[in-house]
Structure 1
């Protein structure tokens, strides 16, 4: 192979194909548990996946989580169908939220995936989190 040619490698991470150029400029790649995407590109949305990202300089670091599997919901001993989340990406039972692939009941409090912020399941399936500064990408991505 000619050394002046760029070699393109493709690695699939959580159903995302990321391209790494050996020319020295990385547009898409991985860092620990994260998919890293640098300017001018944007992170990928994947159907049936929850994405949480932090930004540092010109790069975005994202973790992806699958939606929980729901077959039916019970409400006061009556079976009701699941409903779509606000972003229409996952299905949830009424009075619950989905965050990082886990189901929480209304008013539940839990740690955000960044390990710094606190979140709470609100009405209508919405999750609200505090706004403390994010950790470094290396800490966030588990490196």
Structure 2
């Protein structure tokens, strides 16, 4: 499981997500480390979790990552509160981005959650990732 917080809690969150979906008669289930959601349903957003998904055929395979814990941010000599990310799921400091459960500074470059493409933290908390290659679904989901 790819979580920066307690893995057991993360596994439970995903299990609850899958169980709630099953109760709603949707086609969501686990596929390795991923939550699989098939057409016509859409992947679930989980509050305070970052989601990265790969689509293949009629299904979407998602991994969920915990948001970094932030209490306060420093800007020069001032201490300021964190602000919501663009998707409003995590909190970040001005001049930073949240991606894959980690906090990055503007202009930082890092591997995408698919471990193939590359990302960069841009202005206003935006993350731009290349889409040069599509990951192997089995490798991405740890199968």
Scaled by the length of structure 2, what TM-score is found? 0.83
Summarize the Cα distance change of 1:98–1:15 in structure 2 as closer, same or farther, 3 Å threshold: farther
Shift of 1:27: 1.8
The structure with the largest strand share of the pair is: 1
Shift of 1:78: 1.1
Contact kept, 8 Å, 2:111 with 2:117, in 1: the verdict is: yes
Alignment of structure 1 residues 1-143 onto 2, 5 Å:
13=14, 15-18=16-19, 27-143=27-143
Any gaps of 5 or more consecutive residues in structure 2? 1-11
Any gaps of 5 or more consecutive residues in structure 1? 1-10, 21-25
Summarize the Cα distance change of 1:68–1:14 in structure 2 as closer, same or farther, 3 Å threshold: farther
Scaled by the length of structure 1, what TM-score is found? 0.83
- Paired with 2:37 and 2:76, the residues of 1 have a C-alpha distance of 45
The structure with the largest helix share of the pair is: 2
- Paired with 1:87 and 1:33, the residues of 2 have a C-alpha distance of 23
- Paired with 2:64 and 2:44, the residues of 1 have a C-alpha distance of 10
Contact kept, 8 Å, 1:95 with 1:125, in 2: the verdict is: yes
